[in-house]
Amino acid sequence: MEISTVLNQILMAAYNEAKNRKHEYLTPEHVLFASLYFPEGREVIEGCGGNTEQLKRNLDKHLSTRIPVVEEGEPIQSVGLQHVIERAIMHINSAQKEILDFGDIIIAIYEEEESFASYFLAREGITRYDLLNYISHGAQFDEDELEDFGDEIEEDTGKKSKILEQFTVELTEKARKGELDPLIGREDILERTMQVLSRRLKNNPVHVGEPGVGKTAITEGLAQRIVEGTVPPVLKDAKIYRLDMGALIAGTRFRGDFEERLKRVIAELQKKEKVILFIDEIHTIVGAGAVSGGSMDASNILKPVLADGKIRCIGTTTYDEYRKYF
């Protein structure tokens, strides 16, 4: 394992800060404070919606009043900083990285919930997801989007929230634009699908068949029927969102990154009325969380949501995978 040049410089600056203040311990607060004097540190905080100057003032006040002072000796690593470094190393090992960089450290600092550094980051309105998303993709959101998960975007404007735009495809919108092929000769399966979807509970059909027989086309045909209005009353004006598992998993570097993304997608869908979630190759959700090192896979996140019947789900899989997982 190597330490990036920038992180090495930040750690040295943090050590010198503690030494100049005659502090007994080198803490996560020293590291966060030192990072704010580097462009890389400021960019992360500002990219996540934080105020670097306010954060700097809070940390400076904390360091001036809370850390024990000694007249002689070198600052020693605090238990909190040891936890931060150990957690950061776990991150890079799970991501199979060879270089420890500032992104790994600031995520680990935020996860050290008993530290003042984590507290001050949270006070700036920064969440763990913001840090994960910014560090993984350089993605920046304005404050309203962060606070409301994009809820401020009205449906009648024809726009979707950034979360749904990034991780789902709205099939009913594609049908409205004429981008889907017509469904031919599957009326019996489509009618049965609509019957199951119309139930109050246990309304999550799965289409099982060999690869290439047109399982996905049935859901696309349903999207066209919804747009045409030739569906049962309970399905009128419903919207079908296809979950993009590839996009959800892509770039997940830290423990819990995948779960955070999926939970935000589900939270966004729950705010809408008459939502149908379409998961192509639904067997891939079993154990999907393990890709990002998470303790919970996608199926366990979806189960309680689907059980209450508010969000309906359509899945597709093959006979082999159905026998194996279902």
Q: What pTM was estimated for this model as a whole?
A: 0.54
**pLDDT tens, residue by residue, 110-148:** 999 999 999 999 999 999 888 988 887 654 443 344 344
Sign, CA dihedral 112-117-119-124, equals: negative
pLDDT at 285 over 90: no
Query: pLDDT averaged over the chain?
Result: 85
Which pLDDT score, from 0 to 100, does residue 41 have? Answer: 93
* Beta pairing class for 206-208 and 311-317: parallel
User: What is the three-class DSSP state of 252?
Assistant: coil
CA 97 → CA 166, 180, 252, distances in Å?
25, 41, 12
* Three-class secondary structure assignment of 175-238: HHCCCCCCCCCCHHHHHHHHHHHCCCCCCCCEEECCCCCCHHHHHHHHHHHHHHCCCCHHHCCC
- The rounded distance, in Å, linking the Cα atoms of 290 and 292 is 5
Which pLDDT score, from 0 to 100, does residue 316 have? Answer: 93
In the chain the domains, ranked by start, together with CATH numbers, are: 2-140 (1.10.1780.10), 155-325 (3.40.50.300)
